[in-house]
């Protein structure tokens, strides 16, 4: 059967573990999606990304529409073939990065006009165009165009922003249906907005459930509100979400954010942290975050983590990584990115395991007490 499905396999409190099935393969949840911004998980071979245990990567519509362009990727056979990643891909809508990266942007009811940060060319992104682009890329999980409400925002600002997002969610769904994308195995996820205001979050969930999606994301978090606020929003939002569809917390996060969100019933995550940190000399480990630039590592013969089943974690000393980082060698970025992704995927594997065994609460308490990879 060539369709997108989600099967829960076990529950532990609010937490869940299960499997999303897509025509491109399975995604075990809770899942962490490495970010492959410009059709590459930076400094990683796709085969190595897979080896760490990633079932799915994220592609950025904003970057890809500007370079090399969605039409070009479509002519070349789609994003999977282009980047040599035959497994599932989720694409964002482009909205978030239009607001954070582009120039001269102008938000209107119809959509957002902006100029490319690459070459200054003018573009219009509407809900319909975002869906069109994501389907040209061949995305397995397509996201609706929304406005990521900034933090802080007043109640009125958050409400107006959320209502715009809900109107765009409906237009996105219509465009997705007109393209008959479901029958080809693509899925469309809605995005809950509403800032830090429980009533607005509830109202957003209701609007999205009325429209109907294959999964729901929680947006507008990890934008500076802090972990406590984020967890409070999750506490009031995830209980309202349908049980039988995946829940995706966008742009999150640190390992402790992920553990806390899984405890609250989230199934999917994406974040640049493991990849970006890898390029700036930071390693996530069970001892916490190590900064490999630090002179204390200069003669440390220990590998980053011998227990991880990852070449980068086991076969290179901290002393060598220190040298590579200090010397700005590409191999330093390669090895630290690889290790960090292996660390994240190992954490997700552990989370799935302890949920299955009903031991999540105990695991999370130990993990947060040790501040492992915090």
Active site residues per annotation: 92, 270
Cβ 222 to its own copies shortest distance, Å:
24
d(CA 139, CA 147): 20
The yes or no reply on residue 74 touching its own copies (CB under 8 A) is no
Among residues 7, 75, 210, 296, which is the contact residue for its own copies, using CB under 8 A? 75
Convert 291-307 to b/e letters by CB count within 10 Å (16 or more is b): ebeeeebeebeebbbee
Among residues 6, 248, 316, 343, which is the contact residue for its own copies, using CB under 8 A? 316
Among residues 3, 11, 28, 42, which is the contact residue for its own copies, using CB under 8 A? 42
Q: How many CB atoms lie within 10 A of CB 337?
A: 26
The yes or no reply on residue 47 touching its own copies (CB under 8 A) is yes
d(CA 285, CA 345): 12
- Name the residue with tokens 């370079």: 67
Among residues 7, 13, 23, 67, which is the contact residue for its own copies, using CB under 8 A? 67
Number of residues binding to its own copies, judged by CB under 8 A: 37
Residue 274: which H helix or E strand, with range? helix 273-279
How remote is the C-alpha of 49 from its chain's centroid? 15
The yes or no reply on residue 167 touching its own copies (CB under 8 A) is no
Residue 171: which H helix or E strand, with range? helix 155-178
Among residues 103, 183, 301, 369, which is the contact residue for its own copies, using CB under 8 A? 301
Spatial CB neighbours of 108, under 8 Å, sequence gap ≥ 6: none
Q: How many CB atoms lie within 10 A of CB 12?
A: 19
Inter-axis angle of helices 155-178 and 198-211, nearest 10: 10
The yes or no reply on residue 341 touching its own copies (CB under 8 A) is no
The yes or no reply on residue 43 touching its own copies (CB under 8 A) is yes
Q: Which stretch binds its own copies (CB under 8 A): 93-101, 238-246, 263-271, 316-324?
A: 316-324
Cβ 300 to its own copies shortest distance, Å:
9
The yes or no reply on residue 324 touching its own copies (CB under 8 A) is yes
Cβ 310 to its own copies shortest distance, Å:
12
The yes or no reply on residue 4 touching its own copies (CB under 8 A) is no
Contacts of its own copies in 271-290 (CB under 8 A)? 279
Cβ atoms of 138 and 76 within 8 Å: the answer is no
Among residues 82, 284, 343, 344, which is the contact residue for its own copies, using CB under 8 A? 82
* Whole-angstrom Cα Rg for the chain: 20
In the complex, the residues that contact its own copies under the rule CB under 8 A are 38-40, 42-45, 47, 67-68, 72, 75-77, 82-84, 279, 298-299, 301, 311, 315-317, 319-320, 322-324, 326-327, 329-331, 333-334
């Amino acid at each position: 059967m060539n369709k997108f499905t989600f099967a829960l396999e076990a529950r532990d409190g609010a937490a869940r573990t299960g499997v999303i099935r897509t025509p491109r393969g399975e995604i075990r949840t809770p899942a962490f999606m490495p970010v492959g911004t410009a059709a590459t998980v930076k400094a990683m071979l796709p085969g190595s990304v897979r080896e760490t245990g990633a079932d799915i990567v994220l592609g950025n519509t904003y970057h890809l529409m500007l370079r090399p362009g969605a039409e070009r990727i479509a002519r070349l056979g789609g994003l999977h073939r282009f980047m040599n990643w035959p497994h599932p891909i989720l694409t964002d809508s482009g909205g978030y990065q239009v607001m954070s990266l582009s120039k001269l942007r102008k938000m209107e009811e119809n959509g957002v006009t902006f100029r490319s940060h690459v070459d200054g060319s003018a573009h219009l992104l509407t809900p319909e165009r975002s869906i069109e682009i994501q389907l040209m890329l061949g995305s397995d999980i397509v996201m609706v165009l929304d406005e990521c409400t900034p933090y802080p925002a007043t109640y009125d600002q958050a409400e107006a922003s959320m209502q715009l997002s809900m109107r765009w969610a409906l237009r996105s769904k219509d465009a997705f249906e007109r393209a008959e994308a479901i029958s080809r195995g693509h899925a469309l996820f809605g995005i809950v907005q509403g800032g830090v205001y429980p009533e607005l979050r509830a109202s957003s969930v209701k609007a999205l459930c009325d429209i109907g999606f294959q999964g729901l994301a929680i947006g507008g978090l990890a934008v500076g509100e802090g972990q406590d606020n984020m967890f409070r929003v999750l506490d009031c939002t995830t209980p309202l979400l349908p049980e039988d569809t995946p829940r995706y917390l966008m742009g999150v996060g640190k390992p402790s954010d992920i553990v806390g969100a899984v405890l609250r019933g989230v199934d999917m995550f994406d974040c640049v942290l493991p990849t970006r940190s890898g390029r700036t000399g930071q390693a996530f480990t069970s001892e916490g975050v190590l900064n490999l630039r630090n002179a204390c590592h200069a003669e440390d013969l220990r590998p980053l983590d011998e227990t991880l089943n990852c070449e980068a974690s086991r076969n290179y000393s901290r002393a060598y990584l220190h040298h590579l980082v200090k010397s700005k060698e590409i191999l330093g970025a390669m090895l630290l990115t690889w290790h960090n992704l292996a660390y994240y995927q190992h954490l997700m594997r552990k989370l799935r395991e302890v949920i299955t065994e009903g031991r999540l609460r105990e695991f999370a308490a130990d993990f947060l007490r040790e501040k492992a990879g915090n």
